[in-house]
Structure formats: C-alpha cells, structure tokens
Amino acid sequence: MNFYSTKNPGTNYSLKEAVLQGLPDDNGLFMPDHLQVMPDSFYHSIEQLSFIEIANAVGQVILKDSLEPAILNQIVTEVFDFEVPVNLVAKDIYCLELFHGPTLAFKDFGARFMARLLAHLLDDEDGRPCILVATSGDTGSAVAQGFYQVPGIDVVILYPSGKVSEIQEKQLTTIGGNVTALEIDGNFDDCQRLVKSAFLDQDLKSNRRLTSANSINIARLIPQSFYYFQVFARLKHLNKPIICSVPSGNFGNLMGGLLAKRMGLPIHQFIAANNANRVFYDYLQTGEFQAKPSVATISNAMDVGNPSNFERVMDLYNNDWESLAELVKGYTFNDSETRKAISRVYQESGYLMDPHGAVAYLGLGESLKDNPNTVGVFLGTAHPAKFFEVVKPLIPDEVEIPERLESIISRQKQSIKLSSDYRELKQYLLSK
C-alpha cells in the first residue's frame, strides 16, 4: 500500500513518508492508492470475531505490504484494549459507543494507533519529531495520552481558548512530560490554519521535524474505518439494512466510514449530522462548497467551518456530488434541539447522550422516517460526563463521572497563551 496526494494523484509515498510528513508538500492530503474489497468469507463469519480480530483483519488488507502482520497485530492488541459496544437505545436505534478508551472519546482509536505506529516507524536517522495538532476538544487529550512519554517524540497541542469544556481542557493541559498545550486566542479554524501554515513553512521544517496527529494524518484515519465493521458484526443477525449517523465536524469520522464502504462494508446509508456549523449540509443540498467562519455550540468538537477531510471525501468520490449525495444524507440541528433530545431520550430510556451523540441521534431519527424496515446506529463519540455543564441541567439525576475524569479536575492547568498570529507559533516552535 502506497499513498498519493489529493492535489496530485501521480505522486507516490510510502507509509512511513505519509505518517511522518502528515501533509504532502503541495498542501493536499494523503490517500491510499487502492482499497481492496474484503473477501466474502470475512463477512460470512464476521459476527464471530472480536473487535481486535476485526481491526486486525481490516488493517492487514489496508496496510498490505506496508506493515508486517505481526507488528500490526501487536499494535491493535495493545491499542484496542477496551470495549466497543453497540447498545440498544430505542426501537431500531443503537449507539456505537466509542468512548470507553483512556480519554473517554473516539479519538483514542486514531491517536493511540498512530502513536504505536509512529514509534515503530521511527529510526535514529529521523531525529526527534514534533507532533503538532489542533483540537476542538477531544483530539488534544487523546493525542496527549497516546503519545505521553513515547520516547523521542515531542507533542504540541493548539486549542481555542474558552471554547472547550472544562474537563476537556484539564485533560490536555495537565498531562505534562513531553506534551505542551498552546492556548490560542481564536477558534478551532484558527488553530487548524496555524498548524497547516507550519507544515507548509519550509524554513520551519528545515529546523524542526513536524508531523500531525489530526485526522489529516492518514495514520489517524485508517483505524477510524475499523469500528464501522464492528457495527455490521453486532447487528448482522437483524437482517436489516443499516444506517449510520455520524456527528460531523472535521469529517475524519465520516471519512473512515466511507473508506469501509469502499472496502465492501454493506452500510445502506450514512448520515452527516451537523450542528449550526452546516457547510457540509449546505454542500449536499446545492453541490457547492463554501467555507464559513465557525460558530460556537454545545457540541464543540463539531464547530468547524472549513473541514479538512472534505478534500478527501471529494477525492474518494471523484468530485461526483450526485453519487455522494445519494449515499450520504445531511441534517443540521441547533443547540435547543440538541438539549431537548438529550432530555427526552433520558426520560424515555434512561440513556444519557453527550451533545455530539445527540446531534447524530436526531439525524438518525429523521432518516429512519424515510427508510422503513431499516436499523439505525448513531456514533457516541464522547462520554457525557465530559460535558457535565451541558447535560447536568437536562436530567433529574446525578451525572456519573468516571474516576479517571474525577482525578484530573483538581489538577492545575498548564498552558502557554498565544495569539492567532502564525509568527508567534513559529517563534515558539523554533525556540524549542
């Protein structure tokens, strides 16, 4: 398996080059040069496989000839040492719970996988790389935990000041060690712009070995395809077409599902569920994409006005709007609707959703109205306790806070404040 740039399909990069560079020099995004369809025998017995076995089987096909099978098996066994349940919430509605990893968010899948893979790929000639990542919430803490104390690697995380939850901020600013948090005076799009500018700065790159752990890095994206196969494995016995609803911000999560679909996974339809940041929803309606400044919502990880992975989605579908709009349906919901959904579902079933999962739940509900005799799954991307300030007023009971979150609340935040001026970031990186 080799990789090309979305800006230039004629390019050719190895797995190591793609992972270490993060971005091609032409400011495109890395894509696999081919996606092999999983064999029929895999789907015939998939319900008998554990998630680790599923991840290993899919990963062996994607990374064929790029990574030794024994190394991949070791990585997935170490990384996915937590549950990946598909739980019934209401009639014909299930939640794929992706928040049982160390930081209680779906970003643990990609960040931990990338950390182990990068550690394997590095050698003495590669110098000391700096992982540079922008976060709108959970990416930062997952990357911090995934790369914490990994020998020979520095981690610098940019996050928008005042625009992540208190627990999210504590998770990414209290870990220390080889992890530094930069608190940016701006929004997530500013953080993402700063990171991209750094990767395109040849002067900076000649002095620092930079790589990214955002979903722009192909090593983050690949494992996000694995858990869509888990959905089919756990619901295969229902013998119904499956609809997956994905809370969508930077579109790495949806892109993982589209890769799985291209590998033959029998998903009937995808839902791109947006909050008030609806640029992808508007694209699906009109066929025209227009980036816009992001606006703050209670589902903050989706507050993205110019999603990076949109370019990958377009590349995968050869810019064919009609084909994409047939498979992916879009819905958009405001904060009021999201809060009402959290409250209503808890009252009816006792199931507590986080704000991102609630947006996906709402999108799934709309889709099921038009698709009788189907079963729906929405992605639960973060533990609701990470959004304690949002969900607590919406339910009559106490919000259970896992011990691993309780333990960080009293820790002292440690961050370095910077403006959204790229020159400040460059000066900081060169000084280190």
Question: What domains sit in the chain, N to C, each tagged with a CATH number?
Answer: 83-104+220-401 (3.40.50.1100)
The percentage of residues in the chain with a pLDDT greater than 70, rounded to a whole number, is 99
| pLDDT at residue number 70 | 96
Percent of the chain with pLDDT over 90: 72
Quote the CA–CA distance of 318 and 316 in Å, as a whole number: 6
Give the pLDDT of residue 124.
61
Residue-level pLDDT at 125: 65
* Amino acid 142: pLDDT: 83
- Among candidate residues 355, 396, 401, the one with its CA nearest the CA of residue 171: 401
Strands 3-5 and 8-13: antiparallel
Whether the per-residue pLDDT at 73 is higher than 80: the answer is: yes
Position 335: which residue type?
Answer: D
Q: Is the dihedral of CA 210, 213, 216, 217 positive or negative?
A: positive
The one-character DSSP state at 416 is E
- Per residue in 139-149, pLDDT (tens digit) is 778 888 888 88
Neighbour count for residue 358 (Cβ, 10 Å) = 33
Q: Give the pLDDT score at 284.
A: 95
CB under 8 Å to 127, separation ≥6 — which residues? 209
Q: What residue has token string 């409250």?
A: 343
Report how far residue 98's alpha carbon sits from residue 235's, in angstroms, rounded to the nearest whole number.
Answer: 16
Residue type, 277: N
The set of residues, in sequence order, having a beta carbon less than 8 Å from that of 278 and lying 6+ positions away, is: 330, 332
pLDDT in the model for residue 103: 87
Q: What would the pLDDT profile of 383-406 be if each residue is shown by its tens digit?
A: 999 899 999 999 999 999 898 888
| Residue 126: pLDDT band with limits 50, 70, 90 | low
Number of H helices, E strands in the chain: 20, 14
Report pLDDT for 371. 93
For the segment 151-164, the average pLDDT, to the nearest whole number, is: 90
Alpha carbon separation from 136 to 295, 303, 357, 369 (Å, rounded): 12, 7, 16, 32
User: What is the tens place of the pLDDT at every residue in 5-46?
Assistant: 999 999 999 999 999 888 888 889 999 998 999 999 999 999
* Per-chain mean pLDDT for the chain: 92
Q: Per DSSP, which regions of 62-167 are E strands? A: 86-90, 93-97, 130-134, 154-160
Query: What's the token pair of residue 241?
Result: 């077409």
Tokens of 101: 């990893």
- Total-model pTM: 0.88
pLDDT tens figures, 337-383: 999 999 999 999 999 999 999 999 999 999 999 999 999 999 999 99
